[in-house]
Amino acid sequence: MDASSSVNSVKKSPLLNRQIPIVTRSVKGKFRTFKTAVMVIAYSVYFLLPWMPWERSTGASQALLFDLDARRFFIFDLVVYPQDIFWLAMLLFIAAALLFFTTGLIGRAWCGYFCFQTLWTDLFIMIERMIQGERPARLRLMKQPWNAEKILKMGASHGLMVLVSFWTGVTFACYFTYAPDFIPRLFNGSAAEAGYITVVVLTITTYVAAGLSREHICTLACPYARFQSVMYEADTLAVAYDAKRGEGSAGRKAPAKGLKTREERQASGHGDCIDCGFCVQVCPTGIDIRDGLQYQCISCGLCIDACNTIMDSVGSPRGLIRYDSEQNLASSAPHAPRMEWKRPKVLGYAAALVIATGILFYNIGSRHATEASVQQVRQPLFVMLSDGSVRNRYQVNIINKTEHEQRYELRVQGIPPNALDIGHIPQIRVRAGKTLSLNAKVDLSAEQARNTKEFSFIIIPTQAEAEPVVVKTNFYSH
Ligand code: SF4
Ligand code: SF4
């Protein structure tokens, strides 16, 4: 073979492998039921939470509200301030650790059941099925020329998807503003510009991602699909086809005369797979799990339900496709699939998860109602007064994290009380959720200044049960 013919023989691979639209078939089974239950719970939470009232003395009476204007996040009784950014960092770390932990244990469970892309795609497929019918009817409709029926059914399906996408966007915006006020304003044109932008962007992205792109988001755009293999081990449970059982020694074969019962098939060397293709038809990413573990598989378990249905109908045991580990499938004496959690990687993820969650809860539980910080004015660092004493200046910031106005006393510790001067402020008052910055001067005699390297400000809330906050700072005299 010469070089040119060898080059010509190389097949060009298309940019997108799947150019045939995936039209999935519906299926019944425990994984489908679980997916539907997760969907119902997730949608109920997402769409109803902004409408849940919650009594509070400051801020809107909405259970979950990310009030960007006031720089406060209301999460039921918890109020989160920008200073609590550490909580967000911990939350992201916990989410990552939880994802790694579940992936190490049972593969892409997140993708198959909980990911937003999966949830919305699943809903849009249900809409298509409701309006256009089951898979054969949808395929027929797709192939037929554009006529009144096709325009009506396609238009109604996509119209409904756009409507769901629109309400998804509206709901998302409701998390950032008082929902009962936002909705009428949105429709009478008096809502904030940011509200309209959010709704438009979310409507477009939801419709494009779940209504048009669907599995391409999972297989081409999602970075997690690419690096999930790092978390996989031979013991990780994943949706897998039992090739030994399915293929036998003579391969899979459709039932035919003399190949109807399991005994007949086994006698002729054929495996339990009757090559019906049901597992492929239900797959939302359009793959054939019989080709082995593939990065496109989102572990949704629908092919398990499909195959179990077929196995029931032909009188073979269930589990030809099942959650199992690579190691168990390859074993000469496989045991019932089980979660092998006693592995260093899984235990490591679990430890990280538990420690991070503990730190977060401890931090939330031990938060003070008042936070304070002190910054020394550095230009100049100190001033020599005419009587020889030394002056340092400070900016004291007091954050009132309670839901009511708070009064404070400011004192010093480690230096004489009369060294502190905050001007003619009769009372330090900070409104709920607000920060107050006040300027303080500290004057020490030459001798005291020589002997003082640091001292503390004490911020004392006047409420009896509130704890004072002590902030150490430096005193400079040379
Ligand atoms: S192969 Fe099975 S588990 Fe994987 S995505 Fe397809 S239907 Fe879901
Ligand atoms: S559903 Fe089961 S029997 Fe049918 S093709 Fe898939 S693996 Fe084979």
Render pLDDT for 311-348 as a digit per residue (tens, 0 to 9): 999 999 999 999 999 999 999 999 999 998 899 999 99
pLDDT at residue number 329: 94
Ligand 1: lining residues by beta carbon, under 6 Å: 239, 282-285, 287, 289, 297-303
pLDDT at residue number 463: 75
Percent of the chain predicted with pLDDT > 90: 76
Placement of tokens 């001292």 in the chain: 455
- Ligand 2 atom 6, closest CA: 279
Note whether 252 and 271 are within 8 A (CB). Answer: yes
Q: Which is higher by pLDDT, 399 or 3? A: 399
Note whether 405 and 428 are within 8 A (CB). Answer: no
What is each CA distance from 103 to 224, 239, 262, 346, in whole angstroms? 11, 12, 35, 9
CA 94–ligand 1 middle distance (angstroms): 27
Nearest C-alpha neighbor of 290 from the set 312, 332, 322: 322
Judge if the beta carbon of residue 279 lies within 6 A of ligand 2.
yes
What ranges do the domains of the chain cover?
16-51+107-230, 233-330, 370-474
Placement of tokens 């080059």 in the chain: 7
Judge if the beta carbon of residue 273 lies within 6 A of ligand 2.
yes
**pLDDT tens per residue, range 161-206:** 999 999 999 999 999 999 999 999 999 999 999 999 999 999 999 9
- Nearest ligand to the C-alpha of residue 284? 1
Q: Is the pLDDT of residue 217 over 60?
A: yes
Q: Give the model's confidence band at 224: pLDDT under 50 very low, under 70 low, under 90 confident, else very high.
A: confident
CA 301–ligand 1 middle distance (angstroms): 6
| CA-282 nearest atom, ligand 1 | 7
pLDDT at residue number 37: 98
pLDDT at residue number 427: 84
CA 189–ligand 1 middle distance (angstroms): 45
Q: What does the alpha-carbon distance between residue 106 and residue 339 come to, in Å, rounded to a whole number?
A: 7
Cβ neighbours of 244 (radius 10 Å): 14
CA 275–ligand 2 middle distance (angstroms): 5
Q: Is the pLDDT of residue 264 over 60?
A: yes
CA 134 to chain centre: 32
What is each CA distance from 28 to 143, 303, 306, 307, in whole angstroms? 27, 10, 7, 11
| CA-302 nearest atom, ligand 1 | 7
- Nearest ligand to the C-alpha of residue 255? 2
pLDDT at residue number 85: 87
Q: Tell me the pLDDT of the chain averaged across its residues.
A: 91
**SS3 call for 290:** helix
CA 122–ligand 1 middle distance (angstroms): 13
**pLDDT tens per residue, range 197-207:** 999 999 999 99
Query: What's the predicted TM-score (pTM) here?
Result: 0.82
pLDDT at residue number 20: 67
CA 131–ligand 1 middle distance (angstroms): 24
As a three-state string, the secondary structure of 122-168 is HHHHHHHHHHHCCHHHHHHHHHCCCCHHHHHHHHHHHHHHHHHHHHH
- Nearest ligand to the C-alpha of residue 303? 1
| CA-241 nearest atom, ligand 2 | 7
pLDDT at residue number 14: 52
Inter-axis angle of helices 179-188 and 193-206, nearest 10: 90
Note whether 137 and 166 are within 8 A (CB). Answer: no
DSSP 430: E
Note whether 402 and 361 are within 8 A (CB). Answer: no
Architecture in CATH for domain 370-474: Sandwich (2.60)
Nearest C-alpha neighbor of 279 from the set 246, 305, 299, 256: 305
Is the torsion defined by CA of 267, 270, 274, 279 positive or negative? positive
Q: Is the pLDDT of residue 9 over 70?
A: no
Q: Please state whether 133 falls in left (phi above 0), alpha (psi between -120 and 50) or beta.
A: left
CA 331–ligand 1 middle distance (angstroms): 23
Q: What does the alpha-carbon distance between residue 274 and residue 247 come to, in Å, rounded to a whole number?
A: 9
| CA-275 nearest atom, ligand 2 | 5
Of 272, 278, 283, 303, which is best to mutate to test ligand 2, by the most ligand atoms within 8 angstroms of its C-beta? 278
Q: Is the pLDDT of residue 115 over 90?
A: yes
pLDDT at residue number 243: 96
What is the pLDDT averaged over residues 358-372?
91
pLDDT at residue number 19: 56
**pLDDT tens per residue, range 398-431:** 999 887 889 999 999 999 999 999 998 888 999 8
- Ligand 2 atom 3, closest CA: 273
- Ligand 1 atom 4, closest CA: 297
Q: What does the alpha-carbon distance between residue 442 and residue 244 come to, in Å, rounded to a whole number?
A: 83
Judge if the beta carbon of residue 278 lies within 6 A of ligand 2.
yes
Cβ neighbours of 131 (radius 10 Å): 18
pLDDT at residue number 53: 95
Percent of the chain predicted with pLDDT > 70: 96
Lowest mean pLDDT among 163-167, 388-392, 459-463: 459-463
- Nearest ligand to the C-alpha of residue 239? 1
Q: Please state whether 292 falls in left (phi above 0), alpha (psi between -120 and 50) or beta.
A: left
pLDDT at residue number 23: 94
What is the pLDDT averaged over residues 70-87?
88
pLDDT at residue number 2: 43
Note whether 306 and 290 are within 8 A (CB). Answer: no
pLDDT at residue number 462: 86
Note whether 443 and 421 are within 8 A (CB). Answer: yes
Judge if the beta carbon of residue 321 lies within 6 A of ligand 2.
yes
Note whether 378 and 411 are within 8 A (CB). Answer: no
Note whether 241 and 294 are within 8 A (CB). Answer: no
Q: What does the alpha-carbon distance between residue 174 and residue 51 come to, in Å, rounded to a whole number?
A: 9
**pLDDT tens per residue, range 48-72:** 999 999 988 777 899 999 999 888 8
Long-range residue pairs from 94-102, CB within 8 A, at least 24 positions apart, any chain: 94/353, 94/356, 94/357, 94/360, 97/349, 97/352, 97/353, 97/356, 98/353, 99/224, 100/231, 100/349, 101/346, 101/349, 101/350, 101/353
Q: Is the pLDDT of residue 211 over 80?
A: yes
Of 310, 321, 322, which is best to mutate to test ligand 2, by the most ligand atoms within 8 angstroms of its C-beta? 310
| CA-239 nearest atom, ligand 1 | 3
The two tokens of residue 338 are: 């089980």
Judge if the beta carbon of residue 255 lies within 6 A of ligand 2.
no
Across the strands, what pairs with 186? none
| CA-309 nearest atom, ligand 2 | 1
